[in-house]
Amino acid sequence: MKTNKSFAKRLKVTKNGKIKARKAGQNHFNAKESRNKQLNKKRSTDFPMSQRDIRRFITKSK
């Protein structure tokens, strides 16, 4: 099965196999946020996925 490239580009697989994703709501309207909230938005979050979805959407490891 082909990898879903548009989905895979939004995710990053770590060395230990965890999946990280960018937090939503970072593109605009950030000037009114406090500096602390702005910095918290930069951090990526864990992205829970089932093994079935991982096999379907993300490239196989080497």
Q: Which domains does the chain have, with CATH numbers?
A: 5-56 (4.10.410)
- pLDDT at residue 29 tops 70: yes
Give the pTM: 0.61
24-50 exposure pattern, b = at least 16 Cβ within 10 A, e = fewer: eeeeeeeeeeeeeeeeeeeeeeeeeee
pLDDT tier at 22, thresholds 50, 70, 90: confident
* pLDDT tens-digit readout, 35-55: 999 898 888 888 888 888 887
Calculate what percentage of the chain has a pLDDT beyond 70: 92
